[in-house]
Amino acid sequence: MRPAAPLAALLVLAALTAAALLLVLAPARLLPVRTKYGLVFDAGSTHTALYVYRWPADKENGTGIVSQVQSCTANGSGISSYADDPAGAGASLKPCLDKAMTVIPAEQQRETPTYLGATAGMRLLREQNSTKAEQVFAEVTKAIREYPVDFRGAQILTGNEEGAFGWITVNYLLETLIKVWGGERAEYSFSGKWTHPPMEDVVGALDLGGASTQITFLPGTTSDDKNTTALLRLYGTNYSVYTHSYLCYGQKQVLKRLLASLHQDSPDPQQIAHPCYPKGYQENVTTAELYNSPCVPTPSTPSPAQVLMLQKDFPTRNKIHLRDSCAASSYVLTLLLQGYKFDDKTWLNIHFQKQVSNVDVGWTLGYMLNLTNMIPSETPQRAAVLPKSKWVAATVILAIILILIFCLITALCYWKDSSGYEML
Ligand SMILES: *[C@@H]1O[C@H](CO)[C@@H](O)[C@H](O)[C@H]1NC(C)=O
Ligand SMILES: *[C@@H]1O[C@H](CO)[C@@H](O)[C@H](O)[C@H]1NC(C)=O
Ligand SMILES: *[C@@H]1O[C@H](CO)[C@@H](O)[C@H](O)[C@H]1NC(C)=O
Ligand SMILES: *[C@@H]1O[C@H](CO)[C@@H](O)[C@H](O)[C@H]1NC(C)=O
Ligand SMILES: *[C@@H]1O[C@H](CO)[C@@H](O)[C@H](O)[C@H]1NC(C)=O
Ligand SMILES: *[C@@H]1O[C@H](CO)[C@@H](O)[C@H](O)[C@H]1NC(C)=O
Ligand SMILES: *[C@@H]1O[C@H](CO)[C@@H](O)[C@H](O)[C@H]1NC(C)=O
């Protein structure tokens, strides 16, 4: 009996077992990618919306793209309109939270980070009466805490934050901060290749809200003005963006001022105290421009022919809404052409977009990405994980090499047996 034969057989068997284990276990261990969820309330001046986001759990810190699972617009107006009924603000959020709980698996709700960000409507209320703003926040917090989520607080964003987060959202979705290609692109994992697109690809963001409007872009030159500069370090690159928020220049505030000046209403003491009316009703700079717009000869009373024409386009909308949307579109033109100085040529670079890759464009996604640390300030690690196909190939090659080595050892043993130490 040759002692080398069973030994070699054992070794080959061990090699095969190890290879099989690698083949079976390794990809299986990589496969079940858990999904994480995040909730962000956009408490705007005209309404509140709740966004439910989802991302693969193993792709934290910017190694996976976030998708939007659900958006829900709360009934009623923005939380700032509940200044005299704070409990109503809390109650207004519940239907949307109920809806979100139906899409987030029960076992994951407790670990779902939840944020509420309020914008210009609450900024204005805080300026008017900070006690009232605090009461609204207390009620909103109470309402959200009734749900089994990881509530991380309600906050009033500054205008600059609102602008910067909107800019991050747009550029993140357009892949102009970091571009992923090759690899398993559907998962947007960084297992493939990624590049920093050139700075020229980065786009600016314009945002027209109800009470404020924001403009954010990468300027050609750097400015020292701290008030309008936001320094962002994303994926290992520093961006010094210009951002400016114009409070009171959101479309609702502009229309209110416009109507007030047209109707020459008797000034109401509350309105005078409003931060958007520093000079009472005398502020009519935008009025003259709206008058000249072809859409609305007199914003409060469009001509019958115009109403007829517009009602054909939007038969379900009422006249008040028509008048407002017409005046609003005139205002958008005025803001872009006269305010921000776009011209016939640069106009072509403006893209009016509500969504990119099925995700709503707004500040909420950028806000959540920042607060969950999902956009790393350093460049991500390359190729931490092999795709499944490469695992299989690598394992097969490894197994073949192992078998070859053992075959060689076995052959050597036999050769030694037959040449030197042959036993009889
Ligand atoms: C993400 O980054 C934070 C700190 O920036 C770190 O604590 C955390 O472990 C990172 N998560 C992953 C999955 O790398
Ligand atoms: C809004 O109100 C309508 C009618 O009352 C109701 O059918 C709908 O479910 C409500 N939606 C939300 C999000 O509360
Ligand atoms: C602010 O609101 C609180 C609570 O409603 C009220 O008591 C207070 O008088 C208000 N302050 C001002 C300056 O209007
Ligand atoms: C920055 O803002 C402060 C306070 O709002 C103001 O006093 C200051 O003049 C601003 N600086 C510049 C350079 O605009
Ligand atoms: C980016 O900014 C950080 C501070 O936020 C600074 O330490 C770093 O040197 C800057 N990097 C470059 C390339 O400018
Ligand atoms: C404001 O409107 C009045 C007429 O109502 C007009 O005489 C005045 O010039 C306007 N002011 C501005 C700054 O447009
Ligand atoms: C992002 O969040 C960090 C805190 O986690 C904060 O220091 C930073 O200023 C935020 N970024 C922006 C653009 O606000």
pLDDT at 287 over 70: no
Tell me how far the alpha carbon of residue 99 lies from the centroid of ligand 2, in angstroms: 11
Supply the pLDDT for residue 61: 57
Closest residue by Cα to residue 327 from 293, 281, 285, 277 = 293
What rounded mean pLDDT belongs to the chain?
77
Burial class of residue 68, CB neighbours in 10 A (0-12, 13-18, 19+): middle
Question: Domains of the chain (ranges plus CATH)?
Answer: 4-29+393-419 (no CATH), 35-247+350-372 (3.30.420.40), 251-339 (no CATH)
Residue 57's φ and ψ, nearest 5 degrees, are -65, -30
The catalytic residue among 162, 175, 187, 289 is 162
Confidence class for position 109, pLDDT limits 50, 70, 90:
very high
Q: Give the position of tokens 């009602």.
A: 311
- The predicted model gives 33-37 an average pLDDT of 82
pLDDT at 200 over 70: yes
Instruction: Tell me the whole-structure pTM to 2 decimals.
Output: 0.73
Tokens of 52: 């439910």
Supply the pLDDT for residue 390: 63
Higher-confidence residue: 296 or 210? 210
- Report the nearest atom of ligand 5 relative to the CA of 237: 13
How confident is the model over 67-102, as pLDDT tens digits? 899 999 999 999 999 999 999 999 999 999 999 999
With a 6 A CB cut-off, is 225 part of the ligand 4 pocket?
Answer: yes
With a 6 A CB cut-off, is 61 part of the ligand 1 pocket?
Answer: yes
Spatial neighbors of 236 by CB under 8 A, at least 6 apart, are 196, 376, 377, 378, 379
String of DSSP letters for 231-252: EEEETTEEEEEEEEEEET-SHH
Higher-confidence residue: 2 or 326? 326
Which residue, judged by its Cα, is nearest atom 6 of ligand 5?
238
Q: Are 182 and 195 in contact (CB under 8 A)?
A: no
Asked if residue 211 belongs to a known ligand binding site, the reply is yes
How confident is the model over 327-364, as pLDDT tens digits? 777 788 888 888 888 888 888 888 888 888 888 889 99
Which residue, judged by its Cα, is nearest atom 9 of ligand 4?
227
How confident is the model over 114-125, as pLDDT tens digits? 999 999 999 999
| Catalytic residue list contains 187 | no
Q: What are the counts of helices (DSSP H) followed by strands (DSSP E) for the chain?
A: 13, 13
Confidence class for position 391, pLDDT limits 50, 70, 90:
low
Spatial neighbors of 374 by CB under 8 A, at least 6 apart, are 55, 60, 61, 62, 66, 368
Confidence class for position 256, pLDDT limits 50, 70, 90:
confident
Supply the pLDDT for residue 383: 43
